Amino acid sequence: MNSTHEVFNQPAPLADYNLFETNRPLRDALKFNAPQLQVAPLQELGVTIGSAEMQTHARLANIHTPELHTHDRFGRRIDEVEFHPSYHVLMSAAVGAGLHGTPWAGTSASPHVLRAAGFMLFTELEPSMLCPISMSYAVTPALRGNAAVYADWGPKLTSLWYDPALKSFKDKPGVTMGMGMTEKQGGSDVRANTTKAVRDGSDAWGERYAITGHKWFFSAPMCDAFLVLAQAEAGLSCFFLPRVLPDGTRNAIHIQRLKDKMGNKANASSEVEFHGASAWLVGEEGRGIPQILEMGTMTRLDCALGTSGLMRQALGIAINHASQRNAFGKPLIEQPLMKNVLADLALESEASTALAIRLARAFDHPDDEHERLMARLLTPVAKFWICKRGSHFAQEAMECLGGNGYVEEGGEGVMARIYREMPLNSIWEGAGNIMALDLLRGLRKGDAVAALSKELAPARGQHAALDHMADALPARIEAMASEVEARRLAQDVALAVQASLLAQTAPAAVVGAFCASRLGGDWGNAFGTLGAGTDFDSIIQRAQPR
């Protein structure tokens, strides 16, 4: 072999490691939010999804993207999406880990926190195929608005069996569900929907309707059923729409095309038309928006969890690279500026994990008034701020790898996939403005301001900058007369809650650096601008993925 072909100073990929065992911020967040939680399932999941074998499945599912087949070779309409076998391996693993509807079965002391941690970990392996997993989680409680449908479908939505076949739910051990809300002319403004629902009789599942219209974003069209919005006589209403009808025939759902998205490649997102498709009313006619909002809360939680997982993955890859790559006479991780960047990224990642898991805890205690208010406030806050930070985070983590981070192949090529995926969670289920406005609505209901003060109280006295912000927030909220500063308020509520959580779960080095930079102003406008007095080594050591 010629000497020019000798390869050295190239880091070994981050593979065959336990994603849970090495994630100290996540483990500490779990101890704080769910101290009685049995973490053995997360240990097992961490080994499985950290394996090189599963990483290969993730790569293949993204390279060999879904293909739409509208007709069979004889000209019959079939409307099927074909996936690479690796996609189904990943789906089986996610369903088997209970990342879909299982929290609603209530088999754990803290089912939503357990599921949230697993969802975050799985995102580090492959986020895009988690779309149907997330929707199956979100629709389960809303489906209770039709007791007859829920009795038939509920148990199969919490099953640990995945069956990709397009057939009657009666013949499947487990099912998945999706949602269909937005249309061409409306987007987030679902009140502009034009899809019509006309009464078509009743049967064992209740009031049946014929749905005619379209959906502009209809993700995971191979799910077994969907909750959709359509205009009925009394107004916008929610309907249960199965792919296969009870008699075994296929419903009149025509997939027009698959979206060619920037990222999220393993997941099929589609445009569909309904041509008199059969659907059953869920909840009351004219009450579709409240019904759908209940689902949106759950998927927004998953957006925060997913971005936090991607941050952790990008950070792990960056630290892994910097630990092995030498430049200018020593490893990158020993270079002062690289230490600053990695430590700054580690602070952002841990703060996001702390906030996302705290939000999940609120869903485990729906009968607790404080937790109910925090779920209402922290859902838009976490969705707004964590997801808004994602793209910037991914770009900086990619830069730690230089040109190696910008290529599509190999273990470090995952960085490009992460970067493309990051904007999705910020846009999906309500972009930044929608979240900021939702926070304002939440603050006007109940004793929300007092609940926020109570949330921040345990961390009082830990850092002057945190105390200052906690003191100022109530007055700012009361004085908020316009929507124009709603984004800034959402940002500052997020930072205050993150700092409060870190003060109760993280080492002093993390707490001091986060408060000084994010709340105290000792920070620049880019990652890697922490103050010189930061304990960089302690922060980076805590974030090590090995």
CA distances from 30 to 134, 352, 536 (A): 20, 13, 24
Q: Tokens in use for 295?
A: 């689902």
Q: How many CA atoms lie within 13 A of 253 on its CB side?
A: 29
Q: Please give the pLDDT value at position 328.
A: 92
Residues 6+ apart with CB under 8 A from 485: none
pLDDT tens by residue, 76-126:
999 999 999 999 999 999 999 999 999 998 777 899 999 999 999 999 999
Per the rule left: phi > 0, alpha: psi between -120 and 50, beta: everything else, 410 is left
pLDDT at 2 over 70: no
Report the SS3 class of residue 273: strand
Q: Is 384 in contact with 359 (CB distance < 8 Å)?
A: no
Cα separation, 109 vs 486, in Å, equals 36
Per the rule left: phi > 0, alpha: psi between -120 and 50, beta: everything else, 420 is alpha
Q: Which residue has the higher pLDDT, 24 or 141?
A: 24
What residue ranges define each of the domains in the chain, with the CATH number in brackets?
Answer: 24-157 (no CATH), 169-287 (2.40.110.20), 290-543 (1.20.140.10)
Q: Please give the pLDDT value at position 410.
A: 66
CA distances from 411 to 16, 54, 58, 116, 307 (A): 12, 12, 11, 25, 19
Q: Please give the pLDDT value at position 445.
A: 78
pLDDT tens by residue, 8-55:
899 999 999 999 999 999 999 999 999 999 999 999 999 999 999 999
pLDDT at 133 over 80: yes
- Alpha helix segments (H runs only) across 400-518: 414-427, 432-443, 448-456, 464-479, 486-505, 508-514
* pTM higher than 0.85: yes
Work out the mean pLDDT of the chain and round it to a whole number: 94
Strand partners, 258: 270
Strand partners, 520: none
Cα separation, 301 vs 280, in Å, equals 27
Task: Give the model's confidence band at 1: pLDDT under 50 very low, under 70 low, under 90 confident, else very high.
Answer: low
Strand partners, 208: 280
Q: Please give the pLDDT value at position 300.
A: 95
The arithmetic mean of pLDDT across residues 120-148, rounded, is: 95
The arithmetic mean of pLDDT across residues 365-389, rounded, is: 96
Q: Please give the pLDDT value at position 413.
A: 74
CA distances from 528 to 336, 345, 393, 396 (A): 10, 8, 11, 9
pLDDT at 250 over 80: yes
Q: Tokens in use for 503?
A: 């003060």
pLDDT tens by residue, 442-487:
998 779 999 999 999 999 999 999 999 999 999 999 888 789 999 9
pLDDT at 409 over 90: no
pLDDT at 297 over 90: no
pLDDT at 238 over 70: yes
The arithmetic mean of pLDDT across residues 212-222, rounded, is: 95
pLDDT at 411 over 80: no
C-alpha distance across the termini of the chain, in Å: 33
CA distances from 289 to 181, 237, 376, 445, 535 (A): 10, 7, 16, 18, 49
Cα separation, 147 vs 152, in Å, equals 9
Cα separation, 83 vs 188, in Å, equals 29
